[in-house]
Amino acid sequence: MPSLAVKLPQEQPKEQKPILRVENLHTWFEVRRMGFFKAGDVRALDGVTFDLYEGETVSIVGESGCGKSTLAKTILGINIPTKGAIYFEDQDLSTLDKQGWRNYRSSIGYIQQDPYGALPPFMSVQRILEEPMKINGIRNKEEQARRIRQVLEEVKLAPIEDFLPKFPHMLSGGQQQRLVIARAMILEPKMLIADEPVSMLDASVRVEILQLLQGLQTKHNLAIIYITHDLSTVRYFSERIFSMYGAKIIEKSSTSALLKEPLHPYTQALFEATSDPDAENLKTFKNVPAGEPPSLMNPPKGCRFHPRCSQIIKGLCDEHIPPEFQVHEEHIAACWLYKDHQ
């Protein structure tokens, strides 16, 4: 994959305000046997805490099934949390009424993995972009036209008049994803959640779409949660990286510190395997490190990574859940190797 011709963003100035606070978030899905008897819970999110700052881009990485999309959907209000809290601009989401939820949802743009699946096939580009405005009470035709023109210009679907009557199947994969991004931007959000936004696209188009997202981020000072399997892109795209394993965030760091020295053995294995930026990351990512991901219905005792970890401290890691240790100023790891850093 060609590299992104963009600079690593500046690290987060400390004085910036969190736009989003996620505290001890749990999302469990009940599993029923024969549709009747409770067989247990899939603990898809199991105690996740972090802040996202205004205008900040954070990448979330982790292998398939570790809970990345569940985290995105819980923040978006599509999944209901079992426990914990989410604050957006200091407002506890659990206290929002119907209108409050509508305002909140209009502040967040959502970009999914599969652009075609995300677009209603029988609606034209114009209707797809009008729909969120109608739902959110923007009925003035001139205002609708202004916003449509602006977002289509921003995502570079031009000439605009040619695209407005088209249906999703008439667009290429890259154009469909541009349209999904335009729809996510139409309500002028403060935050974007992009869940594997480029994984279904050709390599050449991926770079264009990521550059487009980065341009929007800078222009509108958007906070972005970027979920990805493609580790070759995170170094160019995000200020911080969170590494997820078994429904928990196990490492949080500035991008530069994590790329210099990943601390958690799981993150070390991930990044070692993808240090070649031209490697086929999707394939290598899934096979590294060796061993099976943990069951989320019956997770291993202690550190969830211990059955796969070559640095396990017997009697500690397999018994006790590691808390987060602040190893460096901007670098936290939930791993017993750092127990002397408190």
Binding residues for ligand ATP (CB under 6 A): 29, 42, 44, 62, 64-70, 296
Q: Tell me the C-alpha to C-alpha distance, in Å, between residue 198 and each of 62, 118, 209, 279, 284.
A: 16, 13, 7, 16, 17
The answer to whether 306 touches 289, Cβ cutoff 8 Å, is no
Which among ligand SF4, Mg ion, ligand ATP, none contacts residue 306 (Cβ within 5 to 8 A by kind)? ligand SF4
Alpha-carbon dihedral 215, 221, 226, 232, rounded to 10 degrees: 50
Q: Could you tell me how far CA 252 lies from the centroid of its own chain?
A: 14
270 or 312: CB nearest ligand SF4: 312
How long is the chain? 342
What is the DSSP secondary-structure string of 225-287?
A: EEEES-HHHHHHH-SEEEEEETTEEEEEEEHHHHHH---SHHHHHHHHHT-STTS-HHHHHHH
Shortest distance, position 260 Cβ to ligand ATP, whole Å: 26
Q: Considering only CA atoms, which of 156, 186, 184 is closest in space to residue 172?
A: 156
Q: What is the footprint of ligand SF4 within residues 249-278 (CB under 6 A)? A: 264-265
Contacts of 4 (CB under 8 A, 6+ apart): 207, 210, 211, 214, 233, 236, 237
Q: Tell me the C-alpha to C-alpha distance, in Å, between residue 134 and each of 129, 131, 138, 219, 325.
A: 9, 5, 5, 25, 47
Q: Tell me the C-alpha to C-alpha distance, in Å, between residue 240 and each of 8, 88, 184.
A: 11, 19, 23
132 or 293: CB nearest ligand ATP: 293
Shortest distance, position 130 Cβ to Mg ion, whole Å: 29
12 or 79: CB nearest Mg ion: 79
68 or 240: CB nearest Mg ion: 68
**Which one of residues 12, 27, 59, 69 is an interface residue with Mg ion (CB under 5 A)?**
69
156 or 339: CB nearest ligand SF4: 339
Contact stretch for ligand SF4 (CB under 6 A) within 58-66, 145-153, 193-201, 304-312: 304-312
Q: Tell me the C-alpha to C-alpha distance, in Å, between residue 82 and each of 47, 72, 74, 114, 245.
A: 10, 15, 10, 27, 19
68 or 304: CB nearest Mg ion: 68
**Which one of residues 22, 48, 66, 312 is an interface residue with ligand SF4 (CB under 6 A)?**
312
Which among ligand SF4, ligand ATP, Mg ion, none contacts residue 225 (Cβ within 5 to 8 A by kind)? none
Q: Residues 284-303: x/- map of binding to ligand SF4 (CB under 6 A)?
A: -------------------x
Cross-sheet strand order for the sheet of 83-88: 37-53, 18-33, 83-88, 91-92
Q: Residues 214-253: x/- map of binding to ligand SF4 (CB under 6 A)?
A: ----------------------------------------
95 or 287: CB nearest ligand ATP: 287
336 binds ligand SF4 (CB under 6 A): yes
210 or 296: CB nearest ligand ATP: 296
Write out the residues near Mg ion by the rule CB under 5 A: 68-69
Write out the residues near ligand SF4 by the rule CB under 6 A: 264-265, 303, 305-306, 309, 311-313, 317, 322, 335-337
